[in-house]
Chain A
Amino acid sequence: MTDYKKASLRILAGSIFFALLPSSAYPQSPEEIYAALAKLPPQERQQRLIAGAKREGVVVVYDTSARQELREFETALRTKYPFLKVEAVTASRGKLLERVLTESRVGRHLADIIGIGSTEDAVLIQNGILARYSSPEFQYLHSGLAGRDGYWVATRLRTYHIAYNTKIVRKEQAPKRWEDLLDPRWKGKLGMADDAYFWFGALENFWGKEKAHDFFRRLAEQQLLIRKGHSLLAELLAGGEFPVVVGMYGHRVALVKKRGAPVEMVNPDPVVGIVGTVGVAKRAPHPHAAALTVDFTISEEGQKLNVEQMRGASRKGVPHPYLERIEALRIQYDTPDLYPPGRYEQIAQDYRRIFIERR
């Protein structure tokens, strides 16, 4: 018999052996575990989850949040569950998506929780990387902020605004609507990020592609002052490099304002909103810890931490950190179902052509 045949036989025999074992000897997949947990009464479920998480001892989080924010999250999580260690991998969205896809392809399953962004979730679901997990906490969220299949849940909300320097622009002069930015008096005075793609996409959703692109092309005629990254944009606005910034993250404005900078934001209609989502990995090595962490993130405590970090909460009843009367605003959120794979690449390309390369 050749070696090849011998090996095949051995594999066959092995498979039969494993197939005959009682199913409990198998390590269960996260989805199986969650299905079993969902059948238990709440208290028992919670005990089982905590016991499992204790055994696992660690949760590996792949996330685009800043390292400092994740440290604060870890502190809060460990106050409640001291046995749980957080290992965080942080990177930009594209990098993290690539990393997850590559690791999955070579069979290296390291991540428990993946929080990249609404637009990447579609790609993750398509590639079978996310597990279905419906947390009992879902019922307390604003509607539409948890995926119906349980693949994703929105944990934090960001918004885009028009921002201005109050030393240069008086409140009554500041542009109030997106269309006000087209006024000739703002020519050469509008700062903008080199990658405000979400803002672009959300206005496309709201106005329709034709109207939105007409607006973008006229806006591009305003000699926009493009700068790299929101940190630089916020600092330069505070320093007075430009009087007004188009499509500026609300939390960044709120942050420099808290530090005493002369900046203010206006809420045009619609305010553009971005949801930060997380999902459990289909092959999560620590499934109990993952579920416990997701539950914590959208619990009241977890959501309050969000607010301290200047992000909006997805849970009902948690006050917004910088928007008053939020119920009076129309917010266009970019939930994952609005962005099939490929749509964002198109948006990024259009954005670059219209605003950056100007062709």
Chain B
Amino acid sequence: MRNPGLWAIGSMSLVASFFIILPVLTIILSSFRVGLPGEFSPLTLANYREAFFDPFTWQVLVNTLFFALGTVVVILFFAVPSAWLIQRTDIPLKKLWLTLLALGIVIPTFLKAIAWILLLSPQIGIVNRLLIDAFGLSGPPFNIYNIWGMSFVQGVILTPPAFFMIAAAYKSMDPSLEEASYASGASGLVTFIRINFPLSLPAIIAATLYLFITAIEVFEVPGLIGAPARIFVFSTLIYYATHPEVGLPKYGLAGGYGMIVLVLALLGSYFYYRVIRQSHKYEVVTGKGYRPKLVELGRLRGLAILFLLIYFTLEIFLPFLTLVWASLVPYIQVPSAEAFTKVTLANYLKVPDYAGLRPFLNTALLMLIAPTISMVFSLILSWVVIRSKVKGRYVLDGVAFLPHAVPSILFAVALSYLALAYREFFPVYGTLTIIVLANSIKYISFGTRTVNGALIQIHHDLEEAAEVSGASKVKVLSSIITPLLGSALLNGWLWISLLAFREVTMALTLSSPKNVMLSTLVWNLWSAGYVPEAAALGVMMVFVLGGFLVLARKLGEKVIGGL
């Protein structure tokens, strides 16, 4: 290589790959062993025998695919139109919608799932009760305990990250293409279907794939809503293998199940690579006329607002109100005149006593450091994959997707084991650093998907023009690409910050007295039976994070001039 800048980029890519591949290899190796990580045992296929020679596993595979597919359909149904509406049309109140999208992520997933049980359970669901009373129905119209209920709740919960991954692509679109479409007499809808949608395809495929894998991996909704209906998915099997009520976790067996997820993820990753390989097709940000024109909604404006309101009612308003209700009453009950007499704020007063200051500090540090590390590496990896001519660069994209392709619990266990084994060289066991590290690595997948989608739209011309004028690669990356990607980078940072805030599986696995997070604290309160207190802390988190979001957006506007 001829210049030090390229060296820097290359070596940073290698560092990132090392930190990703090492824990993943540990997981793969552990799937060929029985016993705990690091415990010596000969290599064996026993886990795979137990996982794959059991007909139950195949039934679970079918359930899993249906659940993940249903989830993705729900996600796309909400995320694609709202991304288009917010980014490409003149719909009012954009800042409000964007803030709400980010705010929803703050409520811990398990609390949201429980809120939905309280809303849609056939026995005590508030929505069911209200409908029965209002229309004199003979039975509950909704039942949450089935695969549709699971997919619905999971899909609604996972829409915000999908929205963001897709929105970045809608943000920057060549207006000349749209103008050409309008000039030929096409309507806004036709333009959306023929121009905007195909152009955002890499982003949509990336989001679909990312969230398909997420849906396979997440445990809360299948555990809380699926288990009562005896619908088991891989995440339930992995959960039971790794969280036994008694006895030792079977990480090898969980690893065996995890390998199915890994294979699915890598297959998807290959498909994604086929799309982004033709990246030139999607280059729409050129040197001329960058800021695209907004579509006027006209008479459809009311309908568009209604669509967003329905979504936010499902995603935030209803669960949040349920959470507020649960925080005010001494035990969970359907709202009634009698129940209102029991309302109290006492649960809020207990929270500071249970929490202390440390979880707040730890969480703040995590939210600032993890997304920064993650986005720096994501930018570099994405640039190498999309822009460089390095051979095998698409393998690097597969590597960037790996942390997402292995279940969080196994990823955290592998990191924890590595930290114990190499504690002399890298003393991070039980510290805040290891949780930050875990989140930084884990969300490189999210970061690279986001940056890929935006980077792919920036025309080569811009970089070539800069290089012809004598700018180095590093200069191109810092002076041309980074500012053009400004809003995508900032939003990516913000979302990783929020995802890290909510992350609980890894934080629990890596926890020690010194690194308690708000997310683990809510979980601990809940599982110890401090239910109203857990709800109260959940509500407080929403308010604290709401403040943080407003601040972050204000700051973001100052730095890069608007989102």
- Interface residues of A, Cβ cutoff 8 Å to B: 66-69, 71, 87-95, 97-98, 101-103, 105-106, 108, 117, 119-120, 123, 194-195, 197-198, 225-232, 234-236, 238-242, 252, 255-256, 259-261, 344-345, 347-348, 352, 356-359
Q: Return the chain A residue nearest B421 by Cβ.
A: A106
Q: How far is the CA of A88 from the CA of B356 in the complex (A)?
A: 15
- Measured CB to CB, the nearest residue on chain B to A195 is B245
Are B114 and A232 in contact, CB atoms less than 8 angstroms apart?
yes
Tally inter-chain residue pairs, CB-CB below 8 A: 150
Chain B interface residue count, Cβ-Cβ cutoff 8 angstroms: 54
Pick from A87, A226, A234: contact of B227, CB under 8 Å: A226
Contacts of A356 in B (CB 8 A): 227, 230
- Residue numbers in B under 8 Å from A241 (CB-CB): 121, 123-124
Partner pick for A95 among B334, B509, B526, CB 8 A cutoff: B509
A98 touches B36 (CB 8 A): yes
Give Cα A87–Cα B421 distance, bound, in whole angstroms: 23
CA distance A300 to B113 in the complex (A): 42
Partner of B342, one of A90, A102, A231, A260: A260
Asked whether, in the complex, the Cβ of B420 is within 8 Å of the Cβ of A103, the reply is yes
| Distance from B531 Cβ to chain A, minimum over Cβ atoms (Å) | 6
Within 8 A of A (CB), among B515-529: 516, 521, 524-529
Q: Which residues of B contact A (CB under 8 A)?
A: 36-39, 56, 114, 117-118, 121, 123-124, 223-224, 227-228, 230, 232, 240, 242-249, 330-334, 342, 354, 417, 420-421, 423, 429, 508-509, 511-513, 516, 521, 524-532
With A68-B525, A102-B37 as given contacts, are A256 and B331 in contact (CB-CB < 8 Å)? yes
Residues of B within 8 A of A94 (CB): 242-249
Interfacial chain A residues near B512, Cβ < 8 Å: 89
Task: Verify A227–B118 contact, CB threshold 8 A.
Answer: no
- For A106, the closest partner residue in chain B by CB is B420
Give min CB distance, A155 to chain B, whole Å: 17
Cβ-closest 4 pairs across A and B = A66-B528, A259-B330, A195-B245, A261-B331
A66 to B529 alpha-carbon distance, docked (Å): 9
Say whether, besides A66-B528, A228-B227, A238 and B420 are in contact (CB < 8 Å): no
A243 to B, closest residue via Cβ:
B123
User: Which residue of B has the minimal Cβ distance to A189?
Assistant: B123
Residues of A within 8 A of B525 (CB): 68
**What is the bound-complex CA distance between A197 and B246, given in angstroms?**
8
Known contacts being A68-B525, A231-B526, A232-B224, is A101 close to B123, with CB within 8 Å? Answer: no
Chain B residue contacts of A88, Cβ below 8 A: 513
Question: Which residue of chain B has its CB nearest to the CB of A103?
Answer: B420
How far does the alpha carbon of A292 sit from the alpha carbon of B470 in the complex, in Å? 73
Q: Looking at the complex, which one of A71, A101, A235, A348 makes contact with B246 (CB distance below 8 Å)?
A: A348
Name the contact of A234 in the complex, choosing from B248, B516, B529 (C-beta under 8 A): B529
Best-surrounded residue of B36, B245, B513 (most CB of chain A within 10 A): B245
Instruction: Name the CB-closest residue of B to A256.
Output: B331
**What is the CB-to-nearest-CB distance from A156 to chain B, in angstroms, rounded to a whole number?**
14
Starting from the known contacts A94-B248, A95-B243, 4 additional A-B residue pairs (CB-CB under 8 Å) come to: A102-B38, A231-B531, A348-B246, A357-B232
- Measured in the bound complex, the distance between the Cα atoms of B226 and A356 in whole Å is 12
Residues of B with C-beta under 8 A to A348: 244-247
Does the CB pair A238–B333 fall under 8 Å?
yes
Q: Are A95 and B249 in contact (CB under 8 A)?
A: yes
Q: In angstroms, how far is the closest chain A Cβ from the Cβ of B560?
A: 41
Q: Which of A97, A98, A119, A236 contacts B332 (CB 8 A)?
A: A236
**Bound form: Cα–Cα A356–B227 in Å:** 8
Closest CB of chain A to B124's CB: distance in Å?
Answer: 5
Q: Contact: A102 with B36, CB < 8 Å? A: yes
**Residues on A with beta carbons closer than 8 Å to the beta carbon of B244:** 93-94, 345, 348
In Å, the complex CA distance between A94 and B342 comes to 38
B248 touches A240 (CB 8 A): no
13 contacts across the A-B interface (CB closer than 8 A): A66-B529, A71-B354, A89-B512, A93-B246, A94-B242, A94-B243, A94-B249, A106-B420, A106-B423, A119-B246, A228-B227, A261-B333, A348-B244
Residues of chain A lying within 8 A (CB to CB) of residue B124:
236, 239-241
Contact partners of B117 in chain A: CB under 8 A: 236
Contacts of B417 in A (CB 8 A): 102
A108 to B224, Cβ gap below 8 A? no
For the complex, give the distance between the alpha carbons of A345 and B417 in Å. 24
Q: Tell me the bound Cα distance from A89 to B512 in angstroms.
A: 6
Complex partner residue of B529 from A198, A240, A252, CB under 8 angstroms = A252
Beta-carbon nearest neighbor of A260 in chain B: B330
Q: A106-B38, A236-B332 are in contact. Are A228 and B246 (CB under 8 A)?
A: no
B529 touches A255 (CB 8 A): yes
Assess the B246–A120 pair: CB atoms within 8 A. Answer: yes
Chain B residues with CB under 8 Å of A90's CB are 524
- For the complex, give the distance between the alpha carbons of A149 and B245 in Å: 26
A105→B526 contact, CB < 8 A: no
* Cross-chain contact B527 with A226 (CB below 8 angstroms): no
Q: Which of A88, A98, A119, A194 neighbours the largest number of chain B CB atoms within 10 Å of its CB? A: A98
Contacts A66-B524, A352-B240 given; does A97 touch B248 at CB 8 Å: yes
Chain A residue, CB-CB nearest to B123: A241
Closest residue of chain A to B333, judged by CB? A239
Q: Knowing A68-B525, A94-B245, A231-B527, say if A225 contacts B230 (CB, 8 Å).
A: no
Across the interface, name the chain B residue whose C-beta is closest to A227: B228
B-chain residues with CB within 8 Å of residue A231 when the two chains form the complex: 526-529, 531
Nearest to B122 among chain A residues (CB) is A241
Question: Which chain B residues lie closer than 8 Å to A195 at the CB level?
Answer: 245
Cβ B526 vs Cβ A227 within 8 A: no
Closest residue of chain B to A61 (Cβ to Cβ) is: B513
- Give bound CA distance, A229 to B523, whole Å: 12
Q: Which of A98, A103, A228, A260 contacts B248 (CB 8 A)?
A: A98
In the bound complex, residues from chain B placing their C-beta under 8 Å from that of A89 are 511-513
Separation in Å of the B36 CB from the closest CB of chain A?
Answer: 6
- Give every chain A residue within 8 A of B354 (Cβ-Cβ): 67-68, 71
Nearest chain B residue, comparing its CB with the CB of A359: B56
Across the interface, do B227 and A357 meet the contact criterion of CB distance under 8 Å?
no
Question: Which residue of the partner chain, among B230, B232, B330, B423, contacts A261 with CB atoms under 8 Å?
Answer: B330
Cα separation A226 to B230 with both chains bound (whole Å) = 8
A235 neighbours in B (Cβ, 8 Å): 331-332, 531
